[in-house]
Amino acid sequence: MTPRYLVVAAVALATLAGGVSYAQKYPTRPVRVVIPFPPGGNVDVFGRVLWPQVEKALGQTVVIDNRGGANGILGSHIVASATPDGYTMLHVSFSFAVNPSIRKKMPFDVVKDFAPVTDVALGTGYLMVAHPKIPAKTVKELIALAKEQPGKVRYSTAGVGNGQHLTGALFASKAGIDLLHVPYKGGGPAVTAVLGGEVQLHFPAPAVGIPHVKSGRLRGLGFTGTRRLTSLPDVPTIGEAALPGFVADAGWHGVFAPAKTPPAIVKMVQEAIRGALQMPHVRDHFVNNGYDPQGHTPAEWAKLFRADLKRYAEITRIAKIEPQ
């Protein structure tokens, strides 16, 4: 080997050793997890169950930082611009993969500016909930009401292109009705809207909607998944209640780091998340609220994520959502 190649090899080994050494010391201070939605929404509810367990595995405090706005874009931009040292992470919904198809201009590239860490969970479906004052008490009655009053039944969502929006649009299309979409800046405000009667209908994740249905503050009409929720066995699936074959999953929750975050750190965080998802109280919370825990490796998650970018581009085209 020539002296030149010996120098190159030595530099490469030193860089690798430095990265491993840095990862071995990680974390030495609190880790910030940006949830790009307001408190009380779907991702926030699950994140506050998951991250305290991850915190134990990492041996450092994990601070959740809610930064809602623009369907998750504002908070995601904070992470894209952060120092890639493992101390800033993004915990986001699959709207992250939808946004490139519905936004003409993005302040970042979801592939180039982020390092996939892992997928946290996959949602089996959304609840369809209604304000108690709406006369419809079943999915069939809701469809009949919407046909009598085209465009008058309003449903709230966490934003344009959000999974709730796509689910509502799909439901309206399959039912042959015209629903008025009312987007809000996050899941929390969207739930508040239906609780307060600003809108009549909402499609929350089970974790968010179940407590309100059980308390009587909202009426559970149906579930968009393939089977009934164990937590709400009396609420039928929309497929069995009115539209045979209708299914709409609730997408995934995933974790990303800024691009160029050391792979050893990315792997460490992924393993901590996977371990947390195996803890009985964490796993039960996800499963009982309509989500299947995941935890794929960074390489596996990167492949799944890139495939979903193409899949959601096709879904938004079918839903006729014009980029804004």
- Condensed to tens digits (0 to 9), the pLDDT of residues 227-265 reads 999 889 999 999 999 999 999 988 999 999 999 999 999
Helix (H) or strand (E) segment spanning residue 231: none
Q: Are strands 127-130 and 180-183 parallel, antiparallel or unpaired?
A: unpaired
Q: Are strands 31-35 and 180-183 parallel, antiparallel or unpaired?
A: unpaired
Q: Which residue's structure tokens are 């030495």?
A: 28
Residue among 247, 222, 219 at smallest CA distance from 235 = 222
pLDDT at res. 11: 41
pLDDT at res. 185: 81
Question: What are the sequence ranges of the domains in the chain?
Answer: 3-123+251-318, 127-241
pLDDT at res. 20: 55
- Distance separating alpha carbons of residues 71 and 185, to the nearest angstrom: 7
Q: Which two tokens stand for residue 52?
A: 């305290």
Q: Are 208 and 191 in contact (CB under 8 A)?
A: yes
Q: Which two tokens stand for residue 41?
A: 């929404």
Q: Which residues of the chain have pLDDT under 70?
A: 1-23
Q: Which CATH superfamily is domain 127-241 in?
A: Periplasmic binding protein-like II (3.40.190.10)
Q: CATH 3.40.50.410: does it fit domain 3-123+251-318?
A: no
Q: Which two tokens stand for residue 29?
A: 């201070």
Q: Which residue's structure tokens are 């919370």?
A: 285
pLDDT at res. 8: 38
User: How many residues can be counted in the chain?
Assistant: 324
Q: Which residue's structure tokens are 């009380």?
A: 40
Q: Are 3-123+251-318 and 127-241 in the same CATH fold?
A: yes
